[in-house]
Amino acid sequence: MDPSKWIDVTVDKNHYSLDHFVIPKHYEQDLSSILIPHGVIMDRVQKLARLIVDQNDGPLGGYQYASDLVNCIKKLTTASGHTVPISMEFIRVKSYENDQSVGVNISLTENELKDFEGKNILIVEDIIDTGKTMVALLERLQQYKPKTTKVTSLLVKKTDRSNGYIPHYVGFAIPDAFVVGYALDYNEHFRDLDHICVISNDCGVRAG
């Protein structure tokens, strides 16, 4: 995606004070600011669904984004007037790093992966950080000969550690900070937070 089409929230003035929106009381000490309020996330997801349906006739194959995106896609029709048939698979991906290479371990079985042959795949991710896991996943999936593979990520982190990978559909470019909320967690915390927020330095659940 052309970076001019993302919403760039990497500039400090874009942050909202915790006072501006409702935050679960038990998280007030743990967060420093709201980066993307829930309403803006939902409006942006609607636009990404529109772009995806406009550019993909289907069928098409971080759970909060995936679930909200699919809900939006279901309501839209393509230029040729039909809804996009969707089937969903949840892939759990683990990447391993050593000094030589990055390997990626996919939780689907060989049999399930073989079903991807000839299909249009849309990988839905909540955040791209270094990009290494996504590049490794895409390489692995190519073995199973999908017809097309596209990637959408709600967030792309602007970080020096990035390998430069850019998905086809991006919601927001975010600063190099640890973010939580909208199903992004820190050790399983903050899953019930709707807004995407920056964790505070003295966050109670933060190790060390």
Q: Which of 69, 175, 79 is nearest to 126 (CA)?
A: 69
Choose between 78 and 162: whose C-beta lies nearer to ligand HPA: 162
Determine if 62 is a binding residue for Mg ion (CB under 5 A).
yes
- Based on the shown chain and the rule CB under 5 A, indicate whether residue 129 belongs to the binding site for Mg ion: no
Task: Give, for 6, the enclosing helix (H) or strand (E).
Answer: none
User: Residue 53, interface with ligand HPA (CB under 6 A)?
Assistant: no
Report, in Å, the least distance between residue 34 CB and ligand HPA: 15
Q: Give the closest residue to 90 by CA, choosing from 70, 75, 76.
A: 70
Query: Minimum distance from CB of 50 to ligand HPA (Å)?
Result: 26
Closer CB to ligand HPA, 69 or 184, in the complex: 184
Residue 129 known to be catalytic? yes
Taking the least distance from each CB to Mg ion, the nearer of 187 and 201 is 187
Cβ count within 10 A of residue 163: 11
Do 173 and 8 contact (CB within 8 A), yes or no? yes
Annotated active-site residue in 129, 185, 192, 202: 129
**Under 8 Å CB-to-CB from 38, ≥6 apart: which residues?**
21, 182, 194, 195
80: DSSP letter: T
Span of 27-35, 81-89, 121-129, 144-152 interacting with Mg ion by CB under 5 A: 121-129
Location of structure tokens 């689907």: 108
Considering only residues 111 to 150 of the shown chain, the ones binding ligand HPA according to CB under 6 A are 127, 129
Q: Give the active site residues.
A: 129
Q: Tell me which residues touch ligand HPA (CB under 6 A).
A: 127, 129, 178-180, 184
